[in-house]
Structure 1
């Protein structure tokens, strides 16, 4: 398992100043850093991860060299210690003497490349952009992680890449800082977060697959979170501290907010959501509001009370893009019909197939409601009609080696 993350807490103004200075220096050095190159067909090591070396293989199989590339009978994960930021990752895949089939995920199971098949004697080079982040906030403070997050790959000090598939074959890997890459920040709950373990999954960790290289997705959602608790845990503050002009912030709350029994809960939700939209815009970024997808029981009757309509009301008042995932998910579930159970792990949380379909709904929302970002949808992504979902039996994204049946927070 990854090392536990222990957020640093500053106790003085001087310490805060030092932290801000270090953050600035790291950002500057990151922009000018040289690419990190690993030639697995040559002299690059295939040893287990060692912190002193700063890289290596961990979790799953340790691959073997096989004539110009590495491969293994099962999935394998490679980690590199890196500063917080966005990175372009270039991979060369394939077997000069045989066929290969490689799926790549990053950090906590974010789908980056799906079923890249090469014929015998062929190799292919692919690029994807990935975000690495830590709990510390520039200028002071930190995200208040839950205990379950402190062993997560998406909060540690490494970039971790998972090579999976029926026969993953990797020749070369190059990691280049991409400080100018536009970033899509995600805020939300268990249906959005990077779920660390099979069989749980969310649309946020499938969303990454649908964009061209040069667009990063930074997922700051977490299981059990409401908008109020995300504000209190500094998740929103962390996102705001990183925002740059041209970025996007997708906000999907409601599942857990509706459980708040305070008399002013809905009014406070609307107030907080409106304030968040305004603050995102002050950074030159674009807020995108997303209504919560339905639970399995909500095919024909909403289980979210007045919260979806409140999101719509804020979007209309603030003239900000709205993706009505609530309505799209009901259409999707109706379209699945007898296959509805194949999309869910329980009454709320999706499995890999279900979250993939929900992600396609969100991407379709981007296509229709966020035209500038829609230009960055990957060329192989076709328009999606939620009433005509994919056949679950044809779904081929392989499961990751990290497994835990414990149900995520939230319902």
Structure 2
């Protein structure tokens, strides 16, 4: 995939004025046929440029198919044609920071299609959508777009690797994946009224931008109703409570939070390590968590505490050993002290890991033999970070925690999720995740 994002502060300042005048909605008709009224044509050759402000950003060989030429009966300018590829492809639009409702129209008048849609850095927005010949599916989901800018004097202090992420820019990027993705149309409209759920955390929460790594924060958007909730995942690998503050990530969240928004707080893995970010569980850790709670409440926000999931560490009897010390209990105590909703992911993850057992649980974490992915010459053995399957199952735990402990937010969860029992996780055989094209063998920060 070509590097086409310029995510420096200079770029943000250069385009800020133009973006302020950007339209509130965008309508794109994909394909080489007749263009639907009120839509902008998108051809396989519509490559993104800063001047154009939208287009494809991928090296995948795209083609356009126009079914409208074969018959004049039942013609529809929007669905007669589409763009497709035998590889994943990306489409991006320059937009100001904010939340956006995105509607995609998928299908083929004369053939089958199978498409999965992700946004920004591999955020899961839909499952695989399969259509038969002549069938079309329209799906809407809500995407958060953010920039590092806090105000005219302050920016989030990004790590060098973050400058290449797809989620720190003035662009809304969609990834179309699957065995036969066929995109007829994309509509984007700004949504300033939706509830925003901000995520503060580390590598177990972040939008991991490269395969085979994943975290629950990039899976959870799939669980919410369109137009009701936007997930703003500000978590980053290697972060602890203190570093998240010093890098102005909490300031960034507070600059955007409005009354009724949520702040999910999950830290422990890096806070327990010796160093400048270290905090003791029952003293400075609790004090730092209370700071986050206080800041959210000042803005009219609703804090939610999440105990950190266990690492994959089994004893000889097949039970999980606690590698997180007293930090989960300190989080529970803080929730009681501050009258804050708690999602006990620590407890749920123990149940789930032990239900898998030492061998099956390997599939939920990044354990792969050498040469499983391009450029990966050595085996990957990581007992902290998740595979896409493991991250999704953790997200299912989070959704159950929301149902049980955050009832107002639970109203915005999809109604067809069903119940989830961590003692009976979804079988691996049911999991479907076509790989994104960006892959790395480099382990994320944190452990």
What's the TM-score, normalizing by structure 2? Answer: 0.85
Q: Give the conservation status (yes or no) of the 8 Å contact 2:201–2:267.
A: yes
**Aligned equivalents of 1:60, 1:352: Cα separation in 2:** 24
2:391 corresponds to which of 346, 355, 361: 355
1:258–1:2 CA distance, 2 compared to 1 (3 A): farther
Q: What stretches of structure 1 of length at least 5 have no aligned partner?
A: 10-18
Match of 2:98 in 1: 85
Match of 1:164 in 2: 177
State whether structure 2 residue 280 is matched by structure 1 residue 290. Answer: no
Greater helix share, structure number: 1
Q: Give the conservation status (yes or no) of the 8 Å contact 2:213–2:385.
A: yes
**Aligned equivalents of 2:328, 2:4: Cα separation in 1:** 37
Q: Give the conservation status (yes or no) of the 8 Å contact 2:54–2:93.
A: yes
Q: Displacement, 1:229?
A: 0.4
Q: Displacement, 1:383?
A: 1.2
Match of 2:29 in 1: 39
**Aligned equivalents of 1:147, 1:200: Cα separation in 2:** 19
Aligned alpha-carbon RMSD (Å): 2.0
Residues 265-284 of structure 1 mapped to structure 2, 5 A cutoff: 265-266=280-281, 267-284=283-300
2:346 corresponds to which of 326, 332, 344: 326
1:78–1:26 CA distance, 2 compared to 1 (3 A): closer
Residues 215-234 of structure 1 mapped to structure 2, 5 A cutoff: 215-234=229-248
**What's the secondary structure of 1:402's corresponding residue?**
coil
Q: Give the conservation status (yes or no) of the 8 Å contact 1:295–1:347.
A: yes
1:133 corresponds to which of 118, 123, 146: 146
Match of 2:369 in 1: none
Match of 2:192 in 1: 179
State whether structure 2 residue 328 is matched by structure 1 residue 308. Answer: yes
Match of 2:9 in 1: 7
1:282–1:258 CA distance, 2 compared to 1 (3 A): same
**What's the secondary structure of 2:348's corresponding residue?**
helix
1:309-354 CA deviation, whole Å, 9 max, x = no partner?
1111110001111000011011111112231000001111001000
1:202 corresponds to which of 215, 240, 261: 215
State whether structure 2 residue 365 is matched by structure 1 residue 344. Answer: yes
1:177–1:374 CA distance, 2 compared to 1 (3 A): same
**Aligned equivalents of 2:384, 2:434: Cα separation in 1:** 22
**What's the secondary structure of 2:394's corresponding residue?**
helix
Q: Displacement, 1:156?
A: 2.0
**What's the secondary structure of 1:269's corresponding residue?**
helix
Q: Give the conservation status (yes or no) of the 8 Å contact 1:2–1:153.
A: no
**What's the secondary structure of 1:297's corresponding residue?**
coil
State whether structure 2 residue 72 is matched by structure 1 residue 56. Answer: no
1:377 corresponds to which of 409, 413, 420: 413
Match of 2:72 in 1: none
**What's the secondary structure of 1:364's corresponding residue?**
helix
1:67-87 CA deviation, whole Å, 9 max, x = no partner?
211111111100111111000
Q: Displacement, 1:34?
A: 3.6
Q: Give the conservation status (yes or no) of the 8 Å contact 1:48–1:62.
A: no
Runs of 4+ displaced beyond 4 Å? 261-264
Residues paired across the two proteins, number: 397
1:226-265 CA deviation, whole Å, 9 max, x = no partner?
0000000000110011000111110100000000357863
Rg (Cα) greater in structure: 2
Q: Give the conservation status (yes or no) of the 8 Å contact 1:288–1:323.
A: yes
Q: Give the conservation status (yes or no) of the 8 Å contact 2:19–2:96.
A: yes
Q: Displacement, 1:285?
A: 1.1
**Aligned equivalents of 1:129, 1:166: Cα separation in 2:** 24
**Aligned equivalents of 2:247, 2:279: Cα separation in 1:** 21
**Aligned equivalents of 1:50, 1:405: Cα separation in 2:** 30
Q: Displacement, 1:55?
A: 1.0
**Aligned equivalents of 1:389, 1:118: Cα separation in 2:** 28
Q: Give the conservation status (yes or no) of the 8 Å contact 1:59–1:401.
A: no
User: Which is further off, 331-340 or 106-115?
Assistant: 331-340
**Aligned equivalents of 1:90, 1:404: Cα separation in 2:** 31
**Aligned equivalents of 2:163, 2:322: Cα separation in 1:** 34
**Aligned equivalents of 1:113, 1:78: Cα separation in 2:** 16
Match of 1:335 in 2: 355
Q: Displacement, 1:126?
A: 0.7
**Aligned equivalents of 1:259, 1:276: Cα separation in 2:** 20
Match of 2:372 in 1: none
1:26–1:372 CA distance, 2 compared to 1 (3 A): farther
**Aligned equivalents of 1:297, 1:232: Cα separation in 2:** 31
Q: Which has the higher contact order (CA 8 A, sep 6+)?
A: 1
User: Which is further off, 217-226 or 327-336?
Assistant: 327-336
Match of 1:365 in 2: 401
